[in-house]
A = this chain, B = another copy of it.
Amino acid sequence: MEKYPAVIILAGGQSERFWPLGDKNLFSFLGQTLLEFQLKTLRQIGFRDFIVVANKNIDWWLKEHFYDVPKLEYVLQNNNLKGMGGAVLSAKQKILAKPGRPLYILNCDDVYHPDLHRKILKHYQREKADGYLAGYRVSSYQPLGYFIENEGVIQGIIEKPPSAKMPSHWANLVAHLFVNPVDFIHELEVENNKSIKTDDLYERALGKLCQKKVFRLVSYRDEWKILKYPWQVLDVADYLLSQISFKVSKDVRIAENASIEGKVIIEKGVKILGGTKIVGPSFIGANSIIGNNCLIRESMIGRNCVVGFSTEITRSYLGDDCWLHSNYIGDSVLEKDVSLGSGAVTANLRLDEANIFAQVKEKKVDTQRNKLGVIIGKGARLGVNSSIMPGVKIGKNSIVGPGVVLLKDIPENQMCFAKQVLEMKSHPYTPHAEIRAQFKRALKKGN
C-alpha cells in the first residue's frame, strides 16, 4: 500500500460569485497563491503526487509553476462536466492510469487546519476501511450536506436537510480519501449517465458508494474557511494570519519611533517610517513602504505597496502594488494595483449597525457581517474624499471620482463621477487680520 495517496485538488470552478476579484485559486495570501499554499501545506505533511483539475484562468500559472512542484499533473476541467463530480471525472484518465493509487480529494477553496490532513492520513495508514471522509462538527444548523453516521461509519449523505431533519451533527467536509478511487469513478459515471440534472453529482455518487463500502468518519472541529464570496478573503486572511510566527527580514528599515506589536511577518526591503504602528497578526510583503503616522492592524499587505501618511488599515487585505494616502481602509479587500486619493475612506459599518448585504449577480446576499468595507478589483482608482459604502464592490480598472459617495457596485472599466452644481457669486468679505491674530495669541499660550 502506498504510504501517501495522490492528492487531487479541484480548482476548476469559475469564481463567478467571487467578482470583482479574479480567480480565487490564484488569489494571493501571505505572498503565495491559494493553490500554491495548498500544495505547499500538503507537501510539508508528506504528500508528493498531485493532480490539479484547473479552469482555463489558472492554466498559465500551472504552466509557469509546473517545475516547482515535482510530480504535479494537471488537467483542464471539461466544460461539459460541471461541479465537483465533473472535476473528478475530468481527471479520469490520470486517475485510471495508476488504478492502484489511493486518492485524496480536496477543494482548492476550502481552507482547513493542516492537522485534518494528518489525521485522515493516520486513519488511512492504520486502518482497513475503503475510505475516510472528514466530518465537520456543526454546533448550530447551517445549510450543508450531513452524514448519516453509525458508530463512525458513514451510511449516506443528506444534502441541505431542514434543521429538524439533520441526520447527524457531522457536515460533509471535502477532504475525502478513497483507497480504491476506481470505484468512485465508476459510481460517478453511473450517476452522470442518469438524466438527473442537479449539481450534486459528487454527493450522489459518494452516498451510493457509502452504502456499498466502508467509509469512516474523521471528525474535525477546527477552522473551516471557504473562499466563495469576495468578502471571504477576509476570513481566509484572518485565519492564515492567526497561524503565523513572528518573522522580520533582516533587510527591513523600521524607524526608531515606529512600533510593532504582536506577531508579524515583514518581508525583505520593507520600510516602516516614523510614528507608525503595526499591530499583529499582520503581513507586509516585500518592498512595501509604510509611510509616517500610519496604523496597520490585523491586515495582510502585498508587495510593492505604498501606504502614505496617516493611513489606517484595519482587518483588511491589500494585494500587490496598492497605493494609499491618508485613507481609512477597514474590513476591505483591494485586489492589486489599486490607488486611493487622499481622504478616500471606506465605511465599514452601517449607520443602523445591521448586517451588511452584498449584491451577488442578481441576489442580495447577507454577508453575515456587521463590519464590512469595500471590495475593489485590480487596477481601480478612487478619487480624493470619496466615500465607499459597506459591502460595495468596484470592478477592475474602474475609476471613482473625487467626492463620490458610492452606494452601489460599479462594473469594470467604468468612470463614475458625481455631478455637482456649484453656485458662484462675488462676496463682500475682507479678511479679519485681527481675528487670526487673536487665534494666534491663544495658540501661543498653549502647548
A residues engaging B (CB < 8 A)? 257, 259, 261, 271, 273-275, 277, 279, 289, 291-293, 295, 297-298, 304, 306, 308-310, 312, 321, 323, 325-326, 328, 330, 337, 341-343, 345-347, 349, 351-354, 370-371, 379, 381, 383-385, 387, 389, 397, 399, 401-406, 410, 413-427, 429-432, 435-436, 439-440, 443, 446-447
Is the beta-carbon distance between A383 and B309 smaller than 8 angstroms? no
A350 CA to B311 CA, complexed, in Å: 20
Cβ-closest 10 pairs across A and B: A328-B342, A403-B405, A415-B427, A352-B429, A342-B345, A387-B402, A419-B421, A385-B387, A347-B384, A309-B312
Interface core residue of A337, A354, A435 (most chain B CB under 10 Å): A435
A316 to B: closest C-beta gap in Å: 13
Give every chain B residue within 8 A of A432 (Cβ-Cβ): 352-354
Is the beta-carbon distance between A387 and B384 smaller than 8 angstroms? yes
Is the beta-carbon distance between A431 and B397 smaller than 8 angstroms? yes
Is the beta-carbon distance between B399 and A418 smaller than 8 angstroms? no
Is the beta-carbon distance between B275 and A293 smaller than 8 angstroms? yes
28 interchain pairs (CB within 8 A)? A259-B274, A271-B447, A279-B447, A291-B295, A298-B446, A309-B312, A312-B342, A326-B328, A337-B431, A341-B345, A341-B347, A342-B345, A346-B384, A347-B383, A347-B384, A347-B402, A352-B427, A353-B432, A370-B435, A397-B427, A397-B430, A397-B431, A399-B427, A402-B405, A415-B425, A416-B422, A418-B420, A419-B421
From known contacts A295-B293, A325-B328, A384-B345, infer whether A279 and B422 are also in contact, taking CB-CB under 8 Å.
Answer: no
Is the beta-carbon distance between B417 and A419 smaller than 8 angstroms? no
Give every chain B residue within 8 A of A371 (Cβ-Cβ): 439
- Which partner residue on chain B sits nearest A343 by CB separation? B345
A272 to B: closest C-beta gap in Å: 11
Contact of A403 among B330, B387, B427, B436 (CB under 8 A): B387
Is the beta-carbon distance between A351 and B431 smaller than 8 angstroms? no
Give every chain B residue within 8 A of A431 (Cβ-Cβ): 337, 353, 379, 397
Number of chain copies forming the complex: 3
From known contacts A275-B293, A310-B293, A351-B381, infer whether A420 and B404 are also in contact, taking CB-CB under 8 Å.
Answer: yes
A413 to B: closest C-beta gap in Å: 5
Is the beta-carbon distance between B429 and A424 smaller than 8 angstroms? no
A307 to B: closest C-beta gap in Å: 11
Give every chain B residue within 8 A of A447 (Cβ-Cβ): 261, 271, 273, 279, 297
A13 to B: closest C-beta gap in Å: 28
Is the beta-carbon distance between A423 and B417 smaller than 8 angstroms? yes
A253 to B: closest C-beta gap in Å: 9
A308 CA to B312 CA, complexed, in Å: 10
Is the beta-carbon distance between A289 and B443 smaller than 8 angstroms? yes
A205 to B: closest C-beta gap in Å: 43
A326 CA to B326 CA, complexed, in Å: 10
A356 CA to B354 CA, complexed, in Å: 37
Is the beta-carbon distance between B306 and A328 smaller than 8 angstroms? no
Is the beta-carbon distance between A292 and B309 smaller than 8 angstroms? no
Is the beta-carbon distance between A427 and B414 smaller than 8 angstroms? yes
Is the beta-carbon distance between A306 and B443 smaller than 8 angstroms? yes
